[in-house]
Amino acid sequence: MIDKLFFDTDCFSAFLWVKEENILFKLYQGKIILPKPVFNELINPSIPHIKRKVNELCLSGDVSTKEIIVNTEEYKLYYELAISPPKGEKVIGKGEELL
């Protein structure tokens, strides 16, 4: 059984754009976590309706956020994917991690 489900920016915002985030809550109520870089991308002031919805979801407790702590395996993976990928690999966006 899934205890926590981390979302990247593209996946989570797709549900928000079509106003169907309720599908996620039916499937994963209380288990949705946005890594802090994802949260930061979603509250971009240039997309006010997404920012407003993400803030509402966090305040209601439907969604939580989580920091990526330095010197953890998760941070090492994030750093390799988003900051310094292996030679020949592309850098992913900062809101793409830990899906």
pLDDT (0 to 100) of residue 95: 52
**Distances 79 to 25, 71, 90 between C-alpha atoms, Å:** 30, 10, 12
In a domain, 79, yes or no: no
pLDDT (0 to 100) of residue 80: 81
Please provide the size of the chain in residues. 99
CA atoms within 13 A on the CB side of 41: 16
In a domain, 59, yes or no: yes
In a domain, 75, yes or no: no
In a domain, 83, yes or no: no
Output the pTM of the full model.
0.71
Backbone φ and ψ of 5, nearest 5°: -130, 115
> Going residue by residue through the chain (99 aa), what tens digit of pLDDT does each one get?
667 878 888 889 999 999 999 999 999 988 999 988 889 999 988 889 999 999 999 999 999 998 888 888 878 877 887 778 888 877 776 555 443
pLDDT (0 to 100) of residue 79: 80
pLDDT (0 to 100) of residue 67: 87
Number of domains in the chain: 1
In a domain, 80, yes or no: no
In a domain, 43, yes or no: yes
Question: Which residue range is the domain that position 53 belongs to?
Answer: 5-67
